[in-house]
Structure 1
């Protein structure tokens, strides 16, 4: 078994601005679960690994004295959201530049499926203090709840236009609800929550533009289909208003909460 990081293939650097603008923001419910799970007397340092442009990193700073976001994509880091007690570093997940037993919480949001997981789990055990927490989560494919025609357009784009030929194989972890992400901690629990969201048609199409699978689809020389998808969504909602938040949808969020004993 490999004991090193996977060679880094930056799938998001080219779409980092779209990633920041159009990806969902995490709910108060999710951070309440994190707050309840973590020891109240261990709030000095949290690290967010695979932090992207900081969607979760900044929120963690409300609960911890210091937060460091680690991200291998320089493009993502360049668009990361600043905060006074947050620092960002370019780094892989499998080798973090911190001392043994120095971290109270490690989070991974929408990124663990890219890691060399056995090596990563060993690194988290090195980094965490006793009673420290490792919390991993991922959101699955969104579902549109207020328009059946729009939901069919959405599913067709995901499963047929992009499909297995353009999604990286690691995407299967998400489609399988992170059941095969199994941290090597005895104290591990799982939760599934729902992340509701209202989106405009412009934002919805912008979300598509942030997909690594769509970036790969374009890289292979395929035509940009987002303008035509945008028009079919406008037709499905019988509107010309592309900026009104008329799409009701939700993301299922799969959480894995582990404690170092």
Structure 2
């Protein structure tokens, strides 16, 4: 698993969209017990805080200590800088494993062995991702999609293709559950969108390789068009299943 986000951890913490509350009402409702949740690949805790509303204890793990350091303090959340294959949790101890926007970075064979080791008999595992957002202004959306595909398109890590494909090419060796449709939805000013783009792994790689920030070019292109808050939508892809395979 590669660390693509330590260098953009501040942008990731402040600028990523919020997951829908309905998601965190649906998932715990499927768990027979709500003692222990594991937010694997937690980043700066975008899912951890919501999980803590429903579970007695939440482990937020990530390979980036810089990301974990930004997670808001919560007595129900404990952090661990470790790989997805090494939770250090006891066997048969976890009611819910969540992998939010991170499964495509994992060594899946090793992670799935660990997930099956720590999940309780009726434990639940849920992995989700969201791809390129849809901007609620046609002209702005066209410029944004062009930036995604052509501006920084060559700088996306190869694992990004799994997000674009909605995880259809990834194995998921669990008893699958059908799920409702969820989406992320925000009303953003231009600078909020720019902060989000600044948090991309592709943006970080572009700056590292080219020596300048491509977000400035996008900001200039959109500045005269962005007159107020605009709705931004990310359709969410969810894989959910039971421990039994």
The TM-score by the shorter chain falls in which range?
over 0.9
In the other structure, the counterpart of 1:259 is 242
Task: Say whether 1:43 aligns with 2:25.
Answer: no
Q: 1:222, CA displacement in angstroms? A: 4.4
In the other structure, the counterpart of 1:119 is 110
Task: Say whether 1:108 aligns with 2:99.
Answer: yes
The equivalent position to 2:185 in structure 1, one of 171, 196, 216, is: 196
The equivalent position to 2:124 in structure 1, one of 128, 133, 137, is: 133
Deviation string, structure 1 residues 109-155 (Cα, Å, up to 9, x no partner): 0000000112211111100011011011111111012x111101110
In the other structure, the counterpart of 2:208 is 219
Q: 1:229, CA displacement in angstroms? A: 1.6
In the other structure, the counterpart of 1:161 is 151
Q: 1:191, CA displacement in angstroms? A: 4.7
Name the TM-score, length of structure 1 as normaliser.
0.89
Greater mean deviation of Cα atoms: 108-117 or 81-90: 81-90
5+ residue gaps in structure 1?
Answer: 1-7
| Cα-Cα RMSD | 1.4
In the other structure, the counterpart of 1:18 is 11
Aligned length: 244
The equivalent position to 2:43 in structure 1, one of 38, 43, 52, is: 52
5+ residue gaps in structure 2?
Answer: none
The equivalent position to 1:32 in structure 2, one of 9, 14, 25, is: 25
Contact 2:2 2:105 in 1 (8 A): no
Contact 1:15 1:210 in 2 (8 A): yes
In the other structure, the counterpart of 1:3 is none
Structure 1 stretches of 4+ with a deviation exceeding 6 A read none
Contact 1:187 1:260 in 2 (8 A): no
In the other structure, the counterpart of 2:230 is 247
Contact 1:131 1:259 in 2 (8 A): yes
